[in-house]
Every structure is written in C-alpha cells, then in structure tokens.
A and B are shown apart, each in its own frame.
Chain A
Amino acid sequence: KAGVTQTPRYLIKTRGQQVTLSCSPISGHRSVSWYQQTPGQGLQFLFEYFSETQRNKGNFPGRFSGRQFSNSRSEMNVSTLELGDSALYLCASSLAGATETQYFGPGTRLLVL
C-alpha cells in the first residue's frame, strides 16, 4: 500500500499571505489528523477529520482550518501567515481515529518570511 503523501514538500511564504497544504491518506484510512512540529513546542495536534467532518480540534487560532473530501484526501489552510507559523506540518492517517496508531506523511516544511 502506498503511504501517506503530502504536497508540497517545501514552501516559502511572506507574512500576511495564506497557504494550502494537501494530504492523501493511506488507502482505506478515513481519519486524517494534522500536526504542527516546531523545535520549541514539539508535535502539536491541529485537528482531525473523519468522513469529511472535523471530529477534534487542538488549541490553535481560527487562522488554521481544514477540510476533508469524500475520497478522504484532506487540505489544511493557514490564513494571514505569521512568522511563528514556520514549522513542519505533518499529516497522519489512521483507520479509526486520532487516538489510534497514526501513520505519518513526510511533512510540508513551511517557512514564513
């Protein structure tokens, strides 16, 4: 089975812009979770989508949003980018949900200038 894929792999944006990241889960996985990873904070949960519905949400501002399509592919959007949004954004999929074994994609490294 193909693993989790994420596009793009690298991205450079400037403050105030917005960005959309994409994630394709492992075939058959209906749960997609997004995480932000920074050196200071580690891996932090953003949100989880299951069958096109947001099921859980972490403590991030409303500038961070997402959606899931009927084929389980998911997108994450960050509006009005800030310097502190520079991070590795990881997508993970699982069969049942965000507390089960997560299989991670390679991540999108976002740099905000």
Chain B
Amino acid sequence: EDKVVQSPLSLVVHEGDTVTLNCSYEVTNFRSLLWYKQEKKAPTFLFMLTSSGIEKKSGRLSSILDKKELFSILNITATQTGDSAVYLCAVGDAGTALIFGKGTTLSVSS
C-alpha cells in the first residue's frame, strides 16, 4: 500500500532556530514530491521536487529529495512566528493522485 510518513508529528522551537522536517514514502510509481504549508485554511504550495539531489530554495525555506532512500527534507532557517503552521508532504503516484502524509505541526515561540 502506498504511504507517506512525516516526522516529527509536532515540533516546538524558538524564534531564530533552524528546523528540519522529514518525509519518507513508499509509492508504486513515483512522479513527484510536494511540500505545502497549511495555516488554518487552504494548503499553500511551497515546493515540487522530481529529481534527486537538487535543492529547491525559497527565502529561508529549502528542500531536497533523495529518490534512492525514498525521503525528502524541508529545512527552515531563522524561524519566525509566522512559520507556525502544519507542513504537509505529498507524493504523486503516476496514474492516481497525490498521497498526503499526516503533517508536521510546527510552533515557533517568540
């Protein structure tokens, strides 16, 4: 059965800390891995990764994919209170749909 597992389930850090969120997956026909941020409303798109070893960056956020070991990480440096959210990892299985993990809840305290 296809599955996406995120860890940790929740995390509390102080402003300025760096955090690493993990996503491992087992899918039949991998197509892509996506990261979303959800703050009490619709998930907003962060990154889409399809190739191993190529880092995607957007400001303080970055992500990388390892297709051999079947995982991805999302890094957030110099965290701010506005980074508090649920971070969702989803894997596209060719011919079907996105399979989402349960998410990591990040709380950043000031």
Contact = CB atoms under 8 A, between A and B. Distances in A.
A108 B95 CA distance: 27
Interface in A38-91: 42-45, 48, 56, 58, 90
B45 A102 contact: yes
Contacts of A58: 97
Given A43-B88, A99-B96, A100-B92, A90 B34 contact: no
B102 A45 contact: no
Given A42-B103, A48-B97, A101 B42 contact: no
Nearest to B99: A45
Contact of A43 (B48, B95, B100): B100
Contacts of B31: 99
B32 interface: yes
Q: How many residues of B sit at the interface, in one of the four size bands?
A: 20 to 34
B32 A99 contact: yes
A107 B44 CA distance: 12
B34 A101 contact: yes
B27 to A, nearest CB: 10
Nearest to B103: A42
B43 interface: yes
A47 B44 CA distance: 20
B92 A99 contact: yes
B92 A42 contact: no
Contacts of A4: 42
Contacts of B48: 101
B56 to A, nearest CB: 12
A42 B90 CA distance: 11
A106 to B, nearest CB: 5
Contacts of B88: 42-43
24 contacts: A43-B43, A43-B88, A43-B100, A45-B96, A45-B99, A48-B97, A56-B96, A58-B97, A98-B98, A99-B31, A99-B92, A99-B94, A99-B96, A99-B97, A101-B34, A101-B45, A102-B34, A102-B90, A102-B98, A104-B36, A104-B43, A105-B42, A106-B42, A107-B42
